[in-house]
Amino acid sequence: MENLKIIPFGGLGKIGKNMLAIESNNSILIIDCGVMFPDETMHGVDVVIPDYEYLQKRKDSIEGIIITHGHEDHIGALPYILPELQAPIYGTALSMGLASVKLKNTKSVKKDLINTVEPGDPFDLGPFNITLFNVNHSIPDAAGVIIKTPLGTIVHTGDFKLDHTPVHGKPTDFHRISEVGNSGVLLLLSDSTYADTPGYTPSEEIVGRSLDRLIGEAPSRVIVASFASLISRIQQIGNAAVNHDRKMGIVGRSMVDNVKLATEMGFINLPPGTVLSDNQLKSHPPESTIIMTTGAQGEPTSALARMSINQHPNVTIQPGDTIILSANPIPGNETAVARTIDNLFKLGANVLYSRIEQVHVRGHASQEELKLFLRLAKPKFFIPIHGDHRHLVHHSRLAQSVGMSEKDTFVMENGDVLNINAKLKAELIDKIPLRDNYIDGKQSGKISNKILKDRANLSKQGVFSISIALDIETGDLIGNPEITTKGFIDTAESVSLVETACEIVEDVLDSMGDKSDLKQLERKISEHVSNFLYKQIRMRPVVITTSVEV
């Protein structure tokens, strides 16, 4: 009996954003393999990758991984996961170019796993017949996926919006969606990122016009900060440079890398000589210079953040500089962005940002576009994906507003398993327990939720570390307990607290009969000292007791 399973993986609330699996009997197709960015509670975590244990156990059944586009949250986990799964990956030229760059230091992944496919050209992977189709997004060469399965056709939008006047490539492929909609779609999975936003998302062209005007009005040097992956924005800045007789410098490693790749692949087209070398940039007159750089999210180590505190090795902000932040702050980054803007103003620059000029548009469809897509695809079943729970709820309401019934719409969580059987009955049949896979520096899979909880506790009121020496024979205290604190309080009061804490340590040791269980003894000391500190000054630093046997 044929059946289909849909399983969204990973994502810090963004359902199926970073990875999603489609199973047809015993064959598995994976869509995307990206990272999530940690929230403010995940101290010390660089990125989070999906829990791929379920897939690892079934690696022999994996037919391939489709990459919808080249953003970090869709390709960033490849270096961690591909060596384990060793499955072929498929995507458009730019997506595969960016994936190759990501994987260049991952020796265990062979080059022949990377396959570039053209939108519109169908190919087979086991029981799946796959065709990519063009969609508009904030990176060129983004694609949605049409997957013919034995039970019916699945459409997966990837990240998308509808842009009738895109800067790069073609508009979202209405004709193909319309065609496949007419021949019958079993299941639609569609981007919900902005499903709570009424109306239409403006075209990238609008931003181009704003940027051209602002660059034309700028009295001296212009510095534009955006995302390194926003190739169309870089192209538009280049166009404005040509239009206003300026030359363009590129600053920031990821921006330099991406401009190089996109130019080689033909996604950035500028007259020769438009882009300045680092050396040329140093001596080029400011009034005919544009610098394109990273740091529009206020990331502390980015080029713009370093410029804003006068610590960039090559670029010094000058009064008269015009700085354009061509991005909206991602939730969580608002304060860092505000700090960067303030610091730039303090250096005498004029800063233009989204509250005061239209210098950015979103890369995701708003409600009217989502409704149009639903109407074109006419699916039997619908799974809103790529959003927090509230976005999925709004998207499912949009589906109902265009005539779908609530029972055919599935608001899922990561790990949920939707099963469609041979009679085309769809139901949630299982939930795979998923954990977050934290990546911290070189460490993968070694940071647990307990470790994060300890870090959060340490961050609140510091650490109070007690060392004691015990007689290895009798268990009696030898010498005095010694205490070191970090991040606690730093006044005279802490000295008297430390003294009293030492007395408590001695009392606890005196009161214990059997001292053979060192761990229990240390726990008991920590507990008593912790309670004392709370009683005394209402603070609860992390108390650690370590005993040395002598």
Active site residues: 191, 364
d(CA 343, CA 308): 5
Q: Does 318 bind its own copies (CB under 8 A)?
A: no
Count of residues making up the chain: 550
Look at the block and give the residue holding tokens 């924005």.
Answer: 233
Is 31 within 8 Å of 50 (Cβ atoms)? no
Furthest CA-CA distance within the chain: 86
Query: Residue 179 is encoded by which pair of tokens?
Result: 């065609």
Q: Does 508 bind its own copies (CB under 8 A)?
A: no
Closest CA to 76 of 234, 229, 256: 229
Q: Does 489 bind its own copies (CB under 8 A)?
A: yes
To its own copies, the closest distance from the beta carbon of 123 in angstroms equals 38
Q: Does 39 bind its own copies (CB under 8 A)?
A: yes
Comparing CB distances to its own copies, the nearer of 314 and 546 is 546
To its own copies, the closest distance from the beta carbon of 550 in angstroms equals 4
Query: Residue 542 is encoded by which pair of tokens?
Result: 């992390």
To its own copies, the closest distance from the beta carbon of 519 in angstroms equals 10
Q: Which residues within the stretch 394-433 sit at the binding site for its own copies (CB under 8 A)? A: 394
Query: Residue 77 is encoded by which pair of tokens?
Result: 């986990």
To its own copies, the closest distance from the beta carbon of 453 in angstroms equals 8
To its own copies, the closest distance from the beta carbon of 33 in angstroms equals 24
Is 176 within 8 Å of 133 (Cβ atoms)? yes
Using the rule CB under 8 A, give the single segment among 101-109, 234-242, 466-474, 504-512 that binds its own copies.
466-474
Q: Does 217 bind its own copies (CB under 8 A)?
A: no
| Helix (H) or strand (E) run with residue 20 in it | strand 19-24
| Helix (H) or strand (E) run with residue 486 in it | strand 477-486
Taking the mean position of all CA atoms in its chain, how far away is CA 270?
30
Q: Does 549 bind its own copies (CB under 8 A)?
A: yes
Burial bucket for residue 217 (CB in 10 Å: 0-12, 13-18, 19+) = exposed
To its own copies, the closest distance from the beta carbon of 372 in angstroms equals 20
To its own copies, the closest distance from the beta carbon of 310 in angstroms equals 15
Q: Does 170 bind its own copies (CB under 8 A)?
A: no
Q: Does 120 bind its own copies (CB under 8 A)?
A: no
Closest CA to 125 of 59, 31, 55, 29: 29
Using the rule CB under 8 A, give the single segment among 56-64, 275-283, 285-293, 345-353 that binds its own copies.
345-353
Q: Could you say which of 253, 460, 476, 517 contacts its own copies (CB under 8 A)?
A: 460
Q: Does 493 bind its own copies (CB under 8 A)?
A: yes
- Output the CA–CA distances (angstroms, integers) from residue 464 to 108, 165, 458, 509, in the order listed: 44, 61, 10, 18
Q: Could you say which of 488, 498, 509, 525 contacts its own copies (CB under 8 A)?
A: 488
Comparing CB distances to its own copies, the nearer of 316 and 459 is 459
Q: Could you say which of 273, 331, 403, 433 contacts its own copies (CB under 8 A)?
A: 331
Q: Could you say which of 101, 242, 432, 463 contacts its own copies (CB under 8 A)?
A: 463
The angle that helices 253-264 and 93-103 make with each other, rounded to 10 degrees, is 140
To its own copies, the closest distance from the beta carbon of 350 in angstroms equals 8
To its own copies, the closest distance from the beta carbon of 491 in angstroms equals 5
Look at the block and give the residue holding tokens 């986990």.
Answer: 77
- Output the CA–CA distances (angstroms, integers) from residue 490 to 493, 494, 495, 498, 539, in the order listed: 8, 6, 9, 12, 13
Q: Does 447 bind its own copies (CB under 8 A)?
A: yes
Comparing CB distances to its own copies, the nearer of 101 and 544 is 544
Phi, psi of 344 (to 5 degrees): -65, -40
Q: Does 523 bind its own copies (CB under 8 A)?
A: no
Q: Could you say which of 57, 355, 407, 425 contacts its own copies (CB under 8 A)?
A: 355
Using the rule CB under 8 A, give the single segment among 50-58, 169-177, 251-259, 329-337 that binds its own copies.
329-337
d(CA 79, CA 6): 24
Comparing CB distances to its own copies, the nearer of 297 and 547 is 547
Q: Could you say which of 122, 285, 456, 496 contacts its own copies (CB under 8 A)?
A: 456
Task: Write down the H helix ranges in 301-417.
Answer: 303-308, 334-346, 367-377, 389-401
Q: Does 182 bind its own copies (CB under 8 A)?
A: no
In the beta sheet, which residues pair with residue 429? none
Q: Does 335 bind its own copies (CB under 8 A)?
A: yes
Handedness of CA 361, 362, 367, 370 (dihedral sign): positive
Q: Could you say which of 186, 325, 341, 370 contacts its own copies (CB under 8 A)?
A: 341
Task: Write down the H helix ranges in 184-264.
Answer: 204-217, 231-243, 253-264
To its own copies, the closest distance from the beta carbon of 483 in angstroms equals 7
DSSP single-letter state for residue 288 = G
In the beta sheet, which residues pair with residue 548? 469
Q: Does 531 bind its own copies (CB under 8 A)?
A: no
Closest CA to 333 of 312, 309, 354: 354
Q: Could you say which of 472, 499, 507, 523 contacts its own copies (CB under 8 A)?
A: 472
Closest CA to 19 of 138, 147, 189, 177: 189
Comparing CB distances to its own copies, the nearer of 101 and 537 is 537
Comparing CB distances to its own copies, the nearer of 156 and 161 is 161
Q: Could you say which of 213, 253, 346, 523 contacts its own copies (CB under 8 A)?
A: 346
Using the rule CB under 8 A, give the single segment among 106-114, 174-182, 246-254, 485-493 that binds its own copies.
485-493
Count of residues binding its own copies (CB under 8 A)? 78
Walk across the sheet containing 477-486 and list its strands: 477-486, 463-470, 542-549
Comparing CB distances to its own copies, the nearer of 244 and 540 is 540
